[in-house]
Structure 1
């Protein structure tokens, strides 16, 4: 759970610094392309230097391929949805994925349905909605479909990552990003926003933190999913927008309203309950 919270914090930081980079003229799709390229290059170099195995067991190749496709689809659909929707609305629709995970977990894994976990997920989602503060004007069905598709893909990420326990972490990182890279390149070519690597110097600190946040977030997400079931791990990621809004308030000086504070408190309360429930389930039964 600590790894999951760490991943959510890294992704939340990533959101704020991506915004800073965009203000300097670096599009989100450009930063996505370079961060995926760098992850692939680092894992490939690490495999050569330290002789990590990039082999994927035959029985898990489908799950790893689906994980890569789901990861690519999250970025593609989410980035596309904000072309038709206010960012806040897209974010609220996207963050339905922890609820989807809780609902799908009994169908896709041996885990039983847990009403208490669903209740916690719904409370956390309400908190996220209050934190983000959706603007309900100008809703476009195309944007809603894309944001929901990103939510479904995010839920699929958790299940497909958990379905390949025999695949080493470097192999998961390498093959998933080998799938993500052409999708990121396609998005960049469609938006016409390609710039050479030296353009990243327009906002060096923001770019370093953005790419670093992604690398740390993706790595710790996979490490968490190797240790925690999709349900409780997915709920931990409701903390991501809370981290993002809090960091934006500190770094960018954005003012928070009372509803956002209330929403953050709801999310924190839901996450604390989630951790307590998981600890109780894992506690040994006295003889």
Structure 2
């Protein structure tokens, strides 16, 4: 849960610095491509330095393929949705994924769907809506469908990652990005934004923080998803837009309204409740070995 919370915080900061980089002229598509490429290089170096194998567990090859495709679809759909609807609206639609995780968990993980768990998930989602505070006027249905598809892909990613326990984290991250890189490059080419690496120097600090936030957030995400259920992780990741809202207020001078503050408090309350529920569920449960 701590890994998930820190990962979500890195992702929240990542969004703010990505906005700062965009203001300076560094395109989002180019940042995505180069951060994925950098991740592959770093994972390769880490594998050599730590003598970690990049081999997948044979029985997990199918789930790894699903994980890679789901991760690619999250980026493709979310990035494409903001071409049709405002970012704030896309974020609210995207962050319905904890509800999808909770509703699907009885069928995927055999989790008992209790009224308490439904209430926690609903409270977290309402809190996200309050924090982001969108205006739903004059929306293009294509953007809503794409953001919803990204939400469903994220729920799929969480379930797949939680089931992928035998393949080490280093190998897992490597093969996921092997699938994501060509997809991100194609998006950049289609949008005409796949600029050379020199363009990233327009905002070195913001670009560095964006890429760093993604790298650390992604690694911690997969350390977390091998240790907790998709339901627990999904609710914890509702902290991401809260961190983004607070960071944007501190770094970009954007103010938080009382409604947004109340929403952040609601999200944090839901996370605390979820932690208590998860601890009660796991009390006395046998430990599961995880490949790190």
Query: Structure 2 CA distance, aligned partners of 1:282 and 1:166?
Result: 20
Paired position in structure 2 for 1:73:
73
Query: Structure 2 CA distance, aligned partners of 1:199 and 1:127?
Result: 37
Paired position in structure 2 for 1:93:
93
Q: How many residues align?
A: 285
Paired position in structure 2 for 1:220:
220
Query: Structure 2 CA distance, aligned partners of 1:8 and 1:114?
Result: 25
SS of structure 1 residue aligned to 2:254: coil
Whether 1:128 and 2:128 are equivalent positions in the alignment is yes
Deviation by residue 1:117-154 (Cα, 9 ceiling, x = unmatched): 11101011001001000111121110110000000000
Structure 2: segments with no counterpart, 5+ residues: 286-292
Structure 1: segments with no counterpart, 5+ residues: none
Deviation by residue 1:232-277 (Cα, 9 ceiling, x = unmatched): 1110000100000000000111011111111111111111111111
Whether 1:169 and 2:166 are equivalent positions in the alignment is no
Aligned-pair distance for 1:281? Answer: 2.1
Paired position in structure 1 for 2:247:
247
Paired position in structure 2 for 1:187:
187
Paired position in structure 2 for 1:9:
9
Whether 1:40 and 2:30 are equivalent positions in the alignment is no
SS of structure 2 residue aligned to 1:234: helix
Aligned-pair distance for 1:282? Answer: 2.6
How do 1:227-242 and structure 2 match up within 5 A? 227-242=227-242
What TM-score results when the alignment is normalised by the length of structure 1? 0.97
Considering only aligned residues, what root-mean-square deviation do their CA atoms show, in Å? 1.1
Query: Structure 2 CA distance, aligned partners of 1:153 and 1:126?
Result: 21
SS of structure 1 residue aligned to 2:135: coil
Query: Structure 1 CA distance, aligned partners of 2:230 and 2:60?
Result: 17
Query: Structure 1 CA distance, aligned partners of 2:228 and 2:277?
Result: 13
Aligned-pair distance for 1:284? Answer: 4.1
Query: Structure 2 CA distance, aligned partners of 1:164 and 1:243?
Result: 28
Query: Structure 2 CA distance, aligned partners of 1:114 and 1:41?
Result: 44
Whether 1:116 and 2:116 are equivalent positions in the alignment is yes
Query: Structure 2 CA distance, aligned partners of 1:280 and 1:173?
Result: 31
Aligned-pair distance for 1:106? Answer: 0.9
Paired position in structure 1 for 2:290:
none
Query: Structure 1 CA distance, aligned partners of 2:247 and 2:263?
Result: 15
Kept in 1: contact 2:74–2:154 (CA 8 A): yes
What TM-score results when the alignment is normalised by the length of structure 2? 0.95
Kept in 1: contact 2:163–2:226 (CA 8 A): no
Paired position in structure 2 for 1:64:
64
